[in-house]
Amino acid sequence: MMKTIGIIAKKGRSEARELTKQICSWCAERGLAVYIEKDLNIITNQAQRVDPLELILSVEAVVVLGGDGTLLSVARIPGSEKVLIIPVNLGGLGFLTEIRADEIFNLLEQIIAGRYTIDSRMLLEVALVRNGTPHETYRILNDVVINKGAMARIIDLETTVNAQYLNTFKADGLIICTPTGSTAYSLSAGGPIIYPSLRCISITPICPHTLTNRPIILPDDSVIQIRLQSEHEDVFLTMDGQIGMRLQKDDCVEVRKSGSAMALVKSPFCDYFEVLKEKLRWGER
């Protein structure tokens, strides 16, 4: 039986603070130990305040209150792949946080009783190689984007898959994403919607110079290498839209499937297609 629960909430949201207090009280009444982030601005003596890493390492499940951005930040915390993630949407366009605030207590009852389904979401590992040496490594849930600044010219991105040459994309950039990330930036750039449980990686060019350069879907065991061949100061590498850095000529970005996956608790109250129809407003005139 579950004994520990953590709460990570979006900062600055009054709804998140209020719901955090309600969950703390609910858990205390049932003898569950609760951990919250130490910098979360709420008053409660029913939870232990710790930093995010210690929180992840101390609990069996984490309730994430906010939106997709909050969930993406949790995915980067080491150890988050070892706990159940319960994503709760507090408004806005959320494809990942499909559980509504008014459903959380009913769902927590089911989770404590062991009646829940896990939606395993693939993660990507991204390495920046500079001058032949790995510079930084990141783990992401949605996408990695290489793109140019507003005033820069089209950039050249030499791309290989499993050491086999694919193409040198002349474009504003490239998006490499997981199935989870297919409904994010990739979708707006003309990429396909990919069912989350599929095991694949997609490459979507951003405004390619050659119009026949279309999105391509690759097996999840592919190792993708993108080398920047253009000498511009305005080219950036961005992970999950939250971490970014400037790239230099001949930098190589290597993308592969991570050895771990994120365990999201599925909502028993709606399915993936209902989320798609609601968020994309299918059927409306």
Distance, in Å, from the CA atom of 123 to the CA atom of 260, rounded to the nearest integer, reads: 7
Q: Is residue 18 part of a domain?
A: yes
Q: DSSP readout, 5-28?
A: EEEEE-TT-HHHHHHHHHHHHHHH
Q: Are 181 and 206 in contact (CB under 8 A)?
A: no
| Number of domains observed in the structure of the chain | 2
Distance, in Å, from the CA atom of 8 to the CA atom of 40, rounded to the nearest integer, reads: 9
pLDDT band, very low/low/confident/very high, at 109 (cuts 50, 70, 90): very high
Same structural domain, 128 and 89: no
Same structural domain, 145 and 253: yes
Whether pLDDT at 136 is above 90: no
| Distance, C-alpha 271 to centroid of its chain | 19
Same structural domain, 173 and 220: yes
Same structural domain, 252 and 136: yes
| pLDDT, averaged across the chain | 92
Same structural domain, 129 and 238: yes
- Quote the pLDDT of residue 76: 93
**Mean pLDDT to the nearest integer, 69-85:** 94
What CATH number is attached to the domain comprising 81? Answer: 3.40.50.10330
**Mean pLDDT to the nearest integer, 221-237:** 93
- Quote the pLDDT of residue 93: 61
Distance, in Å, from the CA atom of 82 to the CA atom of 157, rounded to the nearest integer, reads: 35
Same structural domain, 192 and 250: yes
Distance, in Å, from the CA atom of 6 to the CA atom of 4, rounded to the nearest integer, reads: 7
Same structural domain, 8 and 67: yes
Residues acting as catalytic residues: 68
| Stretch (H or E) spanning 107 | helix 104-112
Nearest to 235 by CA among 182, 177, 190, 169: 169
Same structural domain, 102 and 135: no
pTM of the model: 0.92
Q: 4 - beta bridge partners? A: 33
3-state percent breakdown (helix, strand, coil) of the chain, nearest 5: 20, 40, 40
Whether pLDDT at 233 is above 80: no
Q: Tell me which residue range forms the domain holding 166.
A: 124-259
| Distance, C-alpha 20 to centroid of its chain | 22
Q: Is residue 285 part of a domain?
A: no
24-55 pLDDT tens trace: 999 999 999 999 998 888 888 899 999 999 99
Same structural domain, 190 and 174: yes
- Quote the pLDDT of residue 228: 96
What CATH number is attached to the domain comprising 249? Answer: 2.60.200.30
Residues 237-249 as b or e (16 or more Cβ within 10 Å = b): bbbbbebeeebee
Q: Are 121 and 71 in contact (CB under 8 A)?
A: no
177-191 pLDDT tens trace: 999 999 999 999 999
Same structural domain, 179 and 276: no
Distance, in Å, from the CA atom of 103 to the CA atom of 87, rounded to the nearest integer, reads: 11
